[in-house]
Amino acid sequence: MVFRRTGLPVVVMTLALAGYLAGRLLHGEGFDAVVDGWLAAATGWTTAAVCWLALHRSAGVRIEYALATVAVTATVAGDTYYTLAQDESGVLPSPSLADLGYMLFYALMLLALIVVVGKRLHGAAWPVFLDSAVAACGAATVLAVVLEPVVGSSGEAGLSARTVIAVAYPLFDLMLIAVVAAIFAARGETDGHWAPLVVGLLIFAAADVVFALGEASGAYSVGSALDMAWAVGIALIAVWVDRASRAGQPRRRRRTAHQALLLPGAATAAALAVLLLGSEQHVPVYALVLASATLVLAAVPMAFRHRLLRRLARTDDLTGLLNRRAFHDDCVQRLAAAAGAAAAGAGAGKRSGALLLLDLDRFKEINDSLGHEAGDRLLVQVGERLSRSLRTGDLLARLGGDEFAVLLNGSSADEADAVARKIRDALAGGFPVAGIELRTSVSIGVALFPGHGADANSLLRKADLAMYRAKTARSGHQLYHQDDDRQGELRLRTIQELRTALVLDQLVLHYQPQIDLATNEIHGVEALVRWDHPARGLLMPADFLDLAEECGLMHDLTLVVLQKALDQAAQWSSRQAKLTVAVNISASSLVDVGLPRRISAMLHERQLPASALILEITEDFLMADRDRARGILTELRGNGIQIAVDDFGTGYSSLAYLRELPIDELKLDQSFVQPMGTDPRASALVASTIALAHSLGLRIVAEGVETRQTQDELKELGCNNAQGHYVSLPVSAAELDGWLVSRRQLEPAPQP
Ligand code: C2E
Ligand code: CA
Ligand code: CA
């Protein structure tokens, strides 16, 4: 649907457009100062504003939408100039400055689409331009016939500039449509957000044809039905800019070869029809020339088009490497060849090899915090480095997301091990992306053939299991081992059990107190989840949180933790302890726009003040979708709930950015706090962070305080609170109770 997830600017634009259209219809033909002057201008400029706002909102500049925005603005400016400069009868001599605006529109839109093609199709752009040329040529042929009355009527005097311009507009419209159509044909973009652009351009084209036809008789003046069509067309283009800048990565569905031939096919048919028509009746010569050109353009490259489409179907759009299907096909071939060589008694070099499965570490974090565009650029660079570190005969593919695969022919286990090391080294250096030096690492699973399997699927599965072990152990790379099967099963079983755990109430919370460094009192605790597993005992977050996130259970888990933490807070509150409880909220829970209301209801049910709750969020969430983050946080904070930024210092956010956000507290990550005792530079860093946080009016909590020395130093530096093993480990509610009572910070529980 075109208007799904519509933002306020689009709503305002639609209202303005509706007002203008209603006014236009009510007034009837002829210029009206209110309708065609004010209302039309207001509509046009809100349309331009929609584009500028969309551009402003989208993370990182995307040049294609910037060009489209300026294009829309140029056309609106042209309209405004036309209205201001026309004579009393609503006519403006052409060519005029207005035409300059309109021509700019076409030039910039064309550039925008070229950028889209270049970005999306990586190296495979020229067939798209070829298809566009064929389609545009075919469309021009048809137009030449349709517009013959205009061009033909110019007679002996030759074509006036006015006629040329009038005829050029529909031609340009069709050219833009042809490029969009070619993009569709080559890649099968299925995103709904293209629909407004296509419909908008079609409306433009229709109106421009009518305009050009009327041009012969000088029929157009401001205040006609054509103005309405143009207003609607440009508004739809603005909707495209708005939606496209909101959308993440385009989803793509591959078209089959014959679907991709649709466009040149249609153009050929149109050209043939015009040639046929020419044999029956008068058709202008240039229309016949265009028709022939269309046929030649469509026919000549037919031969390589097929090869090209095959290559396109085998390559990954983003990196230009092989895609999953091509990798699979080639693996099947090579494995069959290896099996054949084994049967023929060939040497080991011909019948064995290794499959490496690679998965980047923390890629999701990079994608979430810096945006898809940055993630994409990282993937492209990773692909390049991988290609460089392999030999020419090796197969390399991107299987999807941040997953790559390599097939090595004739490699032993040791050689595969060496390649894995080489790959890890190659990816260890920083990647310059979005103005920063991104660091990433990779986890690699290795499966050998024929030892671990002889077919592509089982090798991939085994390499995947080994990769998973490498990832959990953070060991870089692992060779498949039989135990991995058991681990894989355990993982699946754990996911199953986690679902039941939520229902059967097997989650428990431990609490870790935070000490106020100025007063030595305990004002707050952090709730940390554990899973009281019936067979495996008490499991730590590291054992199950990733799984919960992976299988979509995180939000339910967060709600359970919130309920339990608030139940506990209510108990403490009834015993005169003023303790805030901090709950960790994963980014996936903050997608729920109903969360603020839900939390308020939970507090209300337990008669707790909102100030009793602190939500800990990570920097990733803040960076991922700034507007949404700000919206949800503002609502939560408006309700009185405090917000802390967890693991501060490990992400990519900057203090300057945090200043604009509704937050109360920074929790300085352990990795900065722990080295304080031994590394003076760590102390200096902590000192300056504390000073900065305070200058922004934020509280600062140091995490992972393990020694008296560190705690004293933090106190000296003016840090507000400390949390860590030196004060207390995370403990059960009962243990914490006893501890607090002994510190006289909690009244003993009433005896039953
Ligand atoms: P976190 O939010 O940074 O929590 C602090 C972690 O550091 C806890 O690990 C805590 O036991 C540990 N810790 C505290 N003091 C010290 C210290 O002095 N030295 C050292 N070495 N470690 C210390 P835990 O409980 O294993 O939790 C790990 C992570 O799991 C948490 O890190 C948090 O990100 C996540 N987590 C825990 N509970 C929840 C939850 O209910 N929901 C969500 N979404 N995440 C949770
Ligand atoms: Ca935390
Ligand atoms: Ca933390």
Please report the pLDDT score of residue 219 as a whole number. 67
Ligand 2 centroid–CA 646 distance in Å is 5
pLDDT bracket for residue 503 (50, 70, 90)? very high
528 has a pLDDT exceeding 90: yes
Please report the pLDDT score of residue 637 as a whole number. 93
Query: Which residues line the pocket of ligand 1, CB cutoff 6 A?
Result: 512, 528-529, 540-542, 545, 558, 561, 584, 586, 646-647, 670, 703-706, 723-725, 730
Residue that the structure tokens 């460089």 belong to: 388
518 has a pLDDT exceeding 80: yes
Q: Which residues surround ligand 3, an ion (CB under 5 A)?
A: 646-647, 703
Percentage of the residues of the chain whose pLDDT score is greater than 70: 89
Question: Which residue lies with its CA nearest to atom 7 of ligand 1?
Answer: 704
Question: Which residue lies with its CA nearest to atom 22 of ligand 1?
Answer: 704
Q: At what angle do helices 195-215 and 161-187 cross, to 10 degrees?
A: 160
pLDDT bracket for residue 752 (50, 70, 90)? low
Distances in whole angstroms, Cα of residue 80 to Cα of each of 75, 76, 167, 637, 665? 9, 6, 22, 44, 51
Residues in a beta bridge with 408: 354
From the CB of residue 84, how many other CB atoms can be counted at a distance below 10 Å?
A: 11
Q: Which amino acid is at 426?
A: A
Question: Which residue lies with its CA nearest to atom 43 of ligand 1?
Answer: 584
Mean pLDDT of the residues in the chain: 86
Cα 386 to the center of its chain, rounded Å: 24
Full 3-state SS string of 329-377 = HHHHHHHHHHHHHHHCCCCHHHHCEEEEEEEECCHHHHHHHHCHHHHHH
- With the most atoms of ligand 1 within 8 angstroms of its CB, the residue from 511, 528, 705 to mutate is 528
Q: Are 83 and 222 in contact (CB under 8 A)?
A: yes
Ligand 1 centroid–CA 703 distance in Å is 9
Question: Which residue lies with its CA nearest to atom 35 of ligand 1?
Answer: 541
Ligand 1 centroid–CA 670 distance in Å is 10
pLDDT bracket for residue 126 (50, 70, 90)? low
Residue that the structure tokens 């979430």 belong to: 368
For residue 225, which of 235, 211, 239, 237 has the smallest C-alpha distance? 211
Please report the pLDDT score of residue 59 as a whole number. 58
Q: Which atom of ligand 1 is nearest to the CA of 510?
A: 25
Residue that the structure tokens 């929790």 belong to: 667
Rounded mean pLDDT of 280-292?
81
Q: Which atom of ligand 1 is nearest to the CA of 725?
A: 18
Ligand 3 centroid–CA 723 distance in Å is 10
pLDDT bracket for residue 181 (50, 70, 90)? confident
Helices (H), 639-732: 655-658, 670-673, 680-695, 708-717
Structure tokens at 269: 């048919």
Rounded mean pLDDT of 655-668?
83
197 has a pLDDT exceeding 50: yes
d(C-alpha 113, C-alpha 177), whole Å = 10
d(C-alpha 180, C-alpha 175), whole Å = 9
Distances in whole angstroms, Cα of residue 534 to Cα of each of 139, 168, 565? 71, 76, 22
Structure tokens at 491: 């993982």
Q: Which residues surround ligand 2, an ion (CB under 5 A)?
A: 584, 616, 646
Residue 559: nearest ligand to its CA? 1
251 has a pLDDT exceeding 60: no
d(C-alpha 48, C-alpha 62), whole Å = 17
248 has a pLDDT exceeding 70: no
Question: Which residue lies with its CA nearest to atom 19 of ligand 1?
Answer: 704
For residue 722, which of 733, 732, 711 has the smallest C-alpha distance? 711
d(C-alpha 651, C-alpha 202), whole Å = 46
Angle at 638 between CA 634 and CA 639, to 5 degrees: 125
Residue 509: nearest ligand to its CA? 1
702 has a pLDDT exceeding 70: yes
191 has a pLDDT exceeding 60: no
Percentage of the residues of the chain whose pLDDT score is greater than 90: 47
Ligand 1 centroid–CA 528 distance in Å is 6
d(C-alpha 230, C-alpha 263), whole Å = 26
Strands 477-479, 507-516: pairing kind:
unpaired
Ligand 3 centroid–CA 670 distance in Å is 7
pLDDT bracket for residue 125 (50, 70, 90)? low
Residue 541: nearest ligand to its CA? 1
Question: Which residue lies with its CA nearest to atom 8 of ligand 1?
Answer: 528
pLDDT bracket for residue 254 (50, 70, 90)? very low
User: Which three-class secondary structure state does DSSP give residue 509?
Assistant: strand
Ligand 3 centroid–CA 616 distance in Å is 8
Question: Which residue lies with its CA nearest to atom 46 of ligand 1?
Answer: 584
d(C-alpha 353, C-alpha 326), whole Å = 18
Which of 226-235, 374-383, 626-635, 718-727 has the lowest average pLDDT?
626-635
Question: Which residue lies with its CA nearest to atom 15 of ligand 1?
Answer: 724
pLDDT bracket for residue 2 (50, 70, 90)? very low
Task: Write down the number of H helices and E strands in the chain.
Answer: 30, 16
- The DSSP symbol for 583 reads E
Please report the pLDDT score of residue 45 as a whole number. 95
252 has a pLDDT exceeding 60: no
Question: Cis (ω within 30 of 0) for the bond into 196?
Answer: no
Helices (H), 446-530: 456-473, 482-503
Q: Are 720 and 703 in contact (CB under 8 A)?
A: no
Q: Taking the alpha carbons of 252, 368, 596, 540 in that order, is the dihedral positive or negative? A: positive
What is the chain's alpha carbon radius of gyration, rounded to the nearest angstrom? 33
Rounded mean pLDDT of 383-393?
91
Ligand 3 centroid–CA 728 distance in Å is 15
Ligand 2 centroid–CA 644 distance in Å is 9
Ligand 2 centroid–CA 731 distance in Å is 15
Q: Are 150 and 215 in contact (CB under 8 A)?
A: yes
Q: Are 416 and 448 in contact (CB under 8 A)?
A: yes
Rounded mean pLDDT of 123-141?
74
Rounded mean pLDDT of 281-289?
80
pTM above 0.75, yes or no: no
Rounded mean pLDDT of 615-631?
76
Q: Are 615 and 601 in contact (CB under 8 A)?
A: no
Q: Are 284 and 271 in contact (CB under 8 A)?
A: no
Q: Which atom of ligand 1 is nearest to the CA of 730?
A: 11
- With the most atoms of ligand 1 within 8 angstroms of its CB, the residue from 567, 584, 619 to mutate is 584
Residue 578 CB burial class (10 angstroms; 0-12, 13-18, ≥19): middle
From its phi and psi, is residue 9 left (phi > 0), alpha (psi between -120 and 50) or beta?
alpha
Q: Which residue has the higher pLDDT, 557 or 149?
A: 557
Question: Which residue lies with its CA nearest to atom 45 of ligand 1?
Answer: 584
**Going by C-beta distance under 8 Å and a sequence separation of 6 or more, which residues neighbour residue 684?**
none
Q: Which atom of ligand 1 is nearest to the CA of 528?
A: 38
Rounded mean pLDDT of 206-218?
79
Rounded mean pLDDT of 318-324?
91
Q: Which amino acid is at 604?
A: H
d(C-alpha 739, C-alpha 597), whole Å = 34
Q: Which atom of ligand 1 is nearest to the CA of 669?
A: 3
1 has a pLDDT exceeding 50: no
Q: Which residue has the higher pLDDT, 650 or 21?
A: 21
d(C-alpha 193, C-alpha 65), whole Å = 13
pLDDT bracket for residue 378 (50, 70, 90)? very high
Q: Which residue has the higher pLDDT, 450 or 153?
A: 450
Q: Are 164 and 97 in contact (CB under 8 A)?
A: no
Over the stretch 297-313, which tens digit does the pLDDT of each residue have? 877 666 666 666 677 78
Structure tokens at 701: 């909590």
Q: Which atom of ligand 1 is nearest to the CA of 706?
A: 18
